[in-house]
């Protein structure tokens, strides 16, 4: 399972090189609806370590990942997120997979600075390095199949308000999250941009791993941004739902994607404050 904490758990994606993006003749309607509000009142977060379990139908453990979030630098003006994970159990027999990721996010704007991802499966090692500039994102992708030479490609996506996985989580949780509120973001988890659209459903008490939480429930839709700026949706993904804690910290507690053959979920196992 590839790491996606906010649009997480969408689909296993093949590693393809992204063509150089050309400017559309006019902005598509979805681009006009991307949320550009400033960070909200929940922008700050204490340093924290989070453990999650991935499961199929809440019965079969399929993987695990950990995320640590802290501040870095002398001025303490950047959030740094480190994550790692792996497939486990029967899923690992079918698909051995490991990853490590690191993200730097500006504390004031909640805008991403750099994102790095390294992943290894049965046949291939891949790395993704993304630099977020004012008007574009620059992707460098390196992949190496067993017994083959490494291949490296650098591509660009022209967009002035892109997010990585961590910054999108920070930005989402910072907002007021009132029932009915809609938040739309362009998120790049690997080397391709995706449109992630969230709708706040409302408050809900939910039991997760035997513990009851007051949560905010959000529905999500995710689609890939094609080179022509059209959106590719996934018919096999029926519904994606996210629950975050209904408190000052807005911790992601559970993400569930309903697929045509069941559902996969990421659920919080453990939380440790680091300060």
Read off the pLDDT of residues 112-136 as tens digits, 9 standing for 90 and up. Answer: 999 999 999 999 999 999 999 999 9
What is the C-alpha to C-alpha distance for residues 237 and 139, in angstroms, rounded to an integer?
Answer: 26
Query: Is residue 62 within 8 Å of residue 56, measured between CB atoms?
Result: yes
pLDDT computed for residue 35 by the predictor:
96
pLDDT computed for residue 8 by the predictor:
38
What is the C-alpha to C-alpha distance for residues 198 and 32, in angstroms, rounded to an integer?
Answer: 16
> Could you tell me how far CA 96 lies from the centroid of its own chain?
21
**Predicted model pTM:** 0.86
What is the C-alpha to C-alpha distance for residues 249 and 47, in angstroms, rounded to an integer?
Answer: 11
Count the Cβ atoms, other than its own, within 10 Å of residue 29: 7
Encode pLDDT of 164-219 as tens digits: 999 999 999 999 999 999 999 999 998 899 999 999 999 999 999 899 999 999 99
What is the C-alpha to C-alpha distance for residues 266 and 58, in angstroms, rounded to an integer?
Answer: 9
> Mean of the pLDDT values across residues 81-104?
95
DSSP 58: T
**Phi and psi of 239, rounded to 5°?**
-160, 140
- Going by pLDDT thresholds of 50, 70 and 90, the confidence category of residue 238 is confident
What is the C-alpha to C-alpha distance for residues 84 and 188, in angstroms, rounded to an integer?
Answer: 18
- Going by pLDDT thresholds of 50, 70 and 90, the confidence category of residue 75 is low
> Could you tell me how far CA 227 lies from the centroid of its own chain?
21
Q: Which of 163, 50, 37 is nearest to 106 (CA)?
A: 163
- Going by pLDDT thresholds of 50, 70 and 90, the confidence category of residue 260 is confident
3-class DSSP assignment, residue 88:
coil
- Average pLDDT of the residues of the chain: 88
Encode pLDDT of 152-179 as tens digits: 999 999 999 999 999 999 999 999 999 9
pLDDT computed for residue 19 by the predictor:
34
pLDDT computed for residue 26 by the predictor:
67
């Amino acid at each position: 399972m590839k790491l996606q904490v906010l649009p997480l758990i969408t689909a296993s994606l093949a590693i393809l090189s992204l063509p150089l993006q050309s400017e559309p003749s006019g902005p598509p309607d979805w681009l006009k609806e991307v949320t550009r509000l400033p960070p909200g009142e929940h922008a700050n977060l204490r340093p924290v370590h989070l453990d999650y379990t991935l499961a199929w139908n809440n019965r079969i453990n399929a993987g695990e990942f950990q995320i640590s979030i802290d501040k870095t630098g002398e001025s303490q003006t950047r959030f740094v997120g480190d994550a790692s994970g792996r497939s486990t159990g029967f899923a690992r027999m079918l698909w051995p997979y490991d990853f490590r990721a690191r993200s730097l996010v500006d504390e004031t704007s909640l805008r991403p600075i750099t994102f790095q991802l390294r992943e290894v499966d049965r046949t291939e090692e891949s790395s993704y390095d993304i630099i977020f500039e004012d008007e574009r994102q620059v992707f460098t992708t390196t992949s190496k199949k067993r017994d083959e030479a490494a291949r490296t490609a650098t591509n660009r996506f022209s967009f002035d308000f892109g997010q990585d996985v961590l910054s999108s989580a920070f930005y989402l949780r910072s907002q007021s999250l009132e029932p009915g509120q809609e938040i739309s973001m362009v998120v790049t988890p690997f080397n391709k941009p995706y449109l992630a659209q969230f709708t706040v459903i409302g408050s809900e008490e939910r039991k997760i791993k035997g513990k009851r939480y007051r949560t905010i429930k959000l529905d999500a839709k995710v689609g890939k941004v094609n080179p022509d700026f059209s959106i590719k949706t996934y018919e096999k993904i029926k519904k994606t739902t996210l629950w975050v804690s209904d408190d000052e910290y807005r911790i992601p507690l559970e993400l569930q994607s309903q697929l045509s053959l069941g559902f996969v979920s990421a659920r919080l196992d453990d939380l440790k404050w680091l300060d």
